[in-house]
């Protein structure tokens, strides 16, 4: 099978067409001035098939966030994401049922919404802190 000059030109022009099809302004727009701190003093206790996660809500939360905040817990069972648990009204603990024969990882993040005054058009109003991880084997 011979590759003709026409085939090569079609491929090159197609590649050039697709590389030029993005909005540089959207790609460069990375500024976001709001962040949440991590939860404090994250710990757990395990008793049988129940794990109790506990944490503290930091005091240094920007007034740009609506209160109360939430805590998001991602439950990973044997390496598979099983569910996301939301703890509302700035709760500081959660009991979670587990199977003691399996391994678990819990990723705990503080979550909040920006106030109407702080929210910018085209930017997310839901913000998460960096996650903290607890592993249970």
pLDDT tens digit sequence for 30-58: 555 678 999 999 999 999 999 999 999 99
Quote the pLDDT of residue 123. Answer: 80
H-helix or E-strand containing 20?
none
Q: Return the CATH number of the domain spanning residue range 32-136.
A: 2.60.40.10
What percent of the chain is helix, strand and coil (3-state, nearest 5)? Answer: 15, 40, 45
Quote the pLDDT of residue 56. Answer: 96
pTM of the entire predicted model: 0.73
Quote the pLDDT of residue 12. Answer: 77
Quote the pLDDT of residue 16. Answer: 66
Nearest to 61 by CA among 85, 32, 40: 40
pLDDT averaged per 10 residues in sequence order, the chain, 137 residues: 74 70 52 81 95 96 93 96 93 95 96 90 87 94
Quote the pLDDT of residue 29. Answer: 52
Quote the pLDDT of residue 20. Answer: 58
Quote the pLDDT of residue 36. Answer: 92
Q: What is the dihedral of CA 118, 124, 126, 132, to 10 degrees?
A: -110
């Amino acid at each position: 099978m011979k590759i003709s000059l026409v085939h090569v030109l079609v491929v090159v022009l197609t590649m050039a067409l697709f590389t030029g099809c993005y909005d540089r302004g959207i790609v460069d727009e990375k500024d976001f001035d709001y962040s949440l701190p991590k939860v404090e003093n994250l710990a757990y206790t395990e008793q049988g098939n129940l794990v109790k996660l506990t944490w503290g809500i930091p005091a240094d939360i920007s007034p740009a966030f609506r209160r109360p905040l939430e805590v998001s817990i991602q439950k990973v069972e044997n390496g598979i994401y099983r569910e996301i648990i939301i703890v509302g009204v700035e709760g500081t603990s959660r009991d979670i049922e587990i199977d003691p024969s399996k391994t678990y990882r819990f990723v705990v993040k503080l979550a909040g919404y920006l106030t109407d005054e702080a929210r910018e058009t085209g930017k997310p109003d839901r913000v998460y802190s960096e996650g903290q991880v607890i592993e249970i084997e």
